[in-house]
Amino acid sequence: MTNFLNVACKPFEGQKPGTSGLRKKTRVFMQADYLERFVQAIFNAIGGGSGKTFVLGGDGRFFNATAIQKILKMAAANGVSRVLVGQDGLLSTPAVSHLIRLNETDGGFILSASHNPGGIDQDFGLKFNTPNGGPAPEGITAEMYDQTLTISSYPIADAPDIDLSKVGEHAIGDMQVDVIDPVSAYSDLMETLFDFGKIRALFASGFSLRFDAMHAVTGPYARAILQVCLGAPEGSVLNAIPSEDFCGGHPDPNPVWAKPLVDLMMSGNAPEFGAASDGDGDRNMIVGRGIYVTPSDSLAVLVANAHLAPGYKAGLAGVARSMPTSRACDRVAEKLGIEAFETPTGWKFFGNLLDAGRVTICGEESAGTGSSHVREKDGLWAVLLWLNIIAERGQSVAEIMTDHWQEFGRNYYSRHDYEAVPVEAANQLMRELETNLPGLVGESFFGMQVVASETFRYVDPVDQSVSENQGIIVHFKGQGRAVLRLSGTGTEGATLRIYLEQYVDRDADHSVETQAALQAVKSAIHEITRIQALIGRDEPDVMT
């Protein structure tokens, strides 16, 4: 007989979910009642847990195992009927999305801070995905926050921990707990989308790859699919064992944090293809021999070539990108004659478009791409689509990019992150810029004339919901653009992100170094924002 306790608690400040759930320092989540109050707020916001089924898993970071046991016991006390949890508590974010949809569950709990570092003194996070497999929309996250302000107690089962090390069935009271293989269902889905035979033949021909799993959750998936199923040589997948602190690394797949892979790909000993994924498996980085592919360019190439993979031979319904992502994929959509949508940052904004069948492929500036196969971005999916394209075209990454730019022109693009900026200084910069927007048009800064400026406002074309103040855009004559926004994924101070873009046409020189091609746009936006005076910096902490 399982006993259920009702634990009295007091509200915590700041339990407001951001673009990807609630992220805080791990020690904040470890406070007594902190995690439990937020979990109960989720249950309350979705109408309770009675009789429902959920998926539960995370990226294996520090506190993941403890948090899963607490959530299981709270689920049982909330009357949940069944929980599917990944073996050892591991599930990638796209795998959770697929399992929700495959099993028609009532949603899923994902324990991760994505690309943020892990460890007791680093970051932790929790988000809830709805029955469509996607992140909870703003209406539900707003209700979660409202619930955190009023909850005075939560129920929890007084029961021993579940053994998550082996696949099998367990129970907490009347609730069934199924510990499942975290990889198999996801791998089966990938095989329906891509020509595994062609990719096997590619590796059999001697094609070389290095995939850096960054000591994170994608390691088991990449080894099972790339090495075991597709035949990539042993050792093709690097850093494949998930670690609670990512072995002291920062699991963000970009040229800064995945520098060893980038250095290898730029060396004389480079394999033909390089890739990386992040903490929870939803982001990706693509690197060819001697060439780094920006997330925006990768999205455009995938849209242009998706028809080469079996799952997309029928064509694409449309494409969507987050507003800060470069407009490279828009040019592809125009040629294909399909719709192109511009949304705020945050994968949840793609959900309605995907559910309505308006788009097939989506992408965002922070190395996230995915398709209608799930309702999350999917790092390994992007890698497999690239491999399918390479197998069909018989070209290197560099050759594919050269052909693409010659057909569509090149959108030079870079994201500059200014991290741990004092919150008030960051807010002042954004306030001043917004106030000055009307007077910028027609003015020139470092030879760049402003032709338009706006605060981005999004009206969802499916349900007509409105999202205000999603970032500031300054457009320059000659198809240059700068986007500024404050990120919602950091846990310390504010992260100011400035996205720089400059288009050059098909006949231009496409070999200019990226930062050099963007220097005029950078100088202009720095003068406009008074960045040095307001935050004391004129160079970013991270440049991708």
**397, 405 in Cβ contact below 8 A?**
no
Asked if 114 is an active-site residue, the reply is yes
The alpha carbon of residue 140 and the mean position of all alpha carbons in its chain are separated, in whole angstroms, by 20
What span, in angstroms and rounded, lies between the C-alpha atoms of 39 and 70? 9
- The residues, ordered by sequence, that sit 6+ positions from 279 with a Cβ below 8 Å of its Cβ are 59, 61, 112, 113, 114, 115, 116, 118, 214, 216, 217, 246, 251, 252
Q: Which residues of 382-417 are buried (b: 16+ CB within 10 A; e: fewer)?
A: bbbbbbbbbbbeeebbeebbbebbeebbbbbbbbbb
H-run or E-run covering 459: strand 458-459
177/81 Cα distance (integer angstroms): 9
**Cβ distance 49 to 39 under 8 Å?**
no
Work out the number of other CB atoms within 10 angstroms of the CB of residue 241. 12
Residue with tokens 């949304």: 343
Q: How many CB atoms lie within 10 A of CB 325?
A: 31
Residue tagged active-site, from 92, 97, 112, 114: 114
CA distance 316 to 360: 5
Q: Which helix (H) or strand (E) holds 263?
A: helix 259-265
Active site residues: 114
